[in-house]
Amino acid sequence: MINLETPRKFRPLIGNAHQVAMNLLRPNSRKYDLAEHEYPKELDMLAALIDGLAESGQASGAGASGVRRPAEEEDGTGTRNGTHLASVLSILEMCWGDVGLLLSMPRQGLGNSAIASVADEEQAKRFAGVWASMAITEPGCGSDTASIRTTAVPDGDHYVLNGEKIYVTAGDRSDAVVVWATLDPAMGRAAIKSFVVPKGTPGMRVERLERKLGIRASDTATILLENCRVPRENLLGSPGVDADQGFAGAMATFDNTRPLVAAMALGCSRASLELTRDLLEQAGVQIDYDRPALTQSAAAATYLQMEADWEAAYLLTLQAAWMADNRRPNSLEASMAKAKAGRTGSDITLRCVELAGSLGYSEHDLLEKWARDSKILDIFEGTQQIQQLIVARRLLGKTSADLK
């Protein structure tokens, strides 16, 4: 059974992540928010440090790429606190510092989680150390992945990819892109596969970078694929089309990444809560945990409600990560965590801006930035509405065809 106390073995990792967030990410947060698309060079040293710790086995799970379970954890016995839980806890701390800078970390892209989720052992070794972004969204396809129109046509020892991908996080800076494409558009989700396309592959190019509301430190690219030839061995998972299984292999990526995005929302909103509490106390507002909220000021009651919402989202996120570590199906829990944390993070950061008044709305503090950053965390990796739809299907035993 899950223990809600922070595992002792992860406490040094969490402490180190918090120190990095406090001393590196938070001080550079405004700088790279204003200098949109400028690469944060300060991250190179940090990435090298994380790589060194990972190679020594001292930082398993320190980042988005740390979700692959070692073989010795696959016997299914006992209760394990593994790399999924470690990743969630460390990412929460890092995003207390800055979400955009965390998303700019070399070799910590969402594509790395896709590789860790679906790749076989040979692919995992071959792509070790590669910084991979993930390309799913298209101009005519957002949350409905069945509408993907980027095609992958077999041609000898290669697949030929054609299509356009938009809103690719770290799409310009990464070493490779995990592209979702369909082998047969007529077969819907069942024919969707993911391919690792290294940068510099003929036929793939970055068309433009988007200017955004938040996470401005992270580059967001539009990528064109025109007769882009990808080796067959770069297809992640099974090459066959199974109408019964659908694209379960590709969707396994989301079971890993949705708790990570939930952790990002938790980190950003916790930063807002902590600063807002300080500002309220400076204004003379006392928050008393021994008195009912209805007997306190409106500001204090609002703050208590936000803390309760944050705690609920936090526990759901821990549950989803813990289940993954213990080889339990967690699609339902991952979507619940993403839905709750995404909405809660956006609500908390906006309400903190309101409670802080002019200080919250100005650039005097980071509250307005956290409000902007948090919105994307309720959108990417599946919108609020999509998560609720997935939860409803799971609870009611419906398929995507039955419940749309």
Active site residues: 381
Q: Most distant CA pair in the chain: distance in Å?
A: 73
> Is the backbone of residue 357 left (phi > 0), alpha (psi -120 to 50) or beta?
left
Distance CA 52, CA 59 (A): 9
Long-range contacts of 388-391 (CB under 8 A, 24+ apart): 388/339, 390/331, 390/332, 390/335, 391/332, 391/335, 391/336, 391/339
How far from 295 is each of 79, 110, 286, CA to CA, in Å? 43, 45, 12
How far from 362 is each of 36, 352, 356, 359, CA to CA, in Å? 19, 13, 10, 5
The SS3 of residue 30 is helix
What H or E segment, with its residue span, contains residue 208?
Answer: strand 204-209
> Which residue(s) pair with 133 in the sheet?
177
Count, residues in the chain = 404
The DSSP letter of residue 7 is P
How far from 320 is each of 24, 255, 288, 313, 349, CA to CA, in Å? 29, 8, 32, 11, 23
Single-letter amino acid code for the residue at 314: Y
Picking from 403, 277, 223, 262, the residue whose alpha carbon sits closest to that of residue 344 is: 262
Picking from 36, 40, 37, the residue whose alpha carbon sits closest to that of residue 28 is: 40
Burial category of 176 from C-beta neighbours within 10 Å (exposed 0-12, middle 13-18, buried 19 and up): buried
Distance CA 196, CA 390 (A): 27
Q: Which two tokens stand for residue 79?
A: 């209760």
- CB hemisphere CA count around 52 (13 angstroms): 6
Query: Is residue 198 within 8 Å of residue 209, measured between CB atoms?
Result: no
Distance CA 149, CA 152 (A): 10
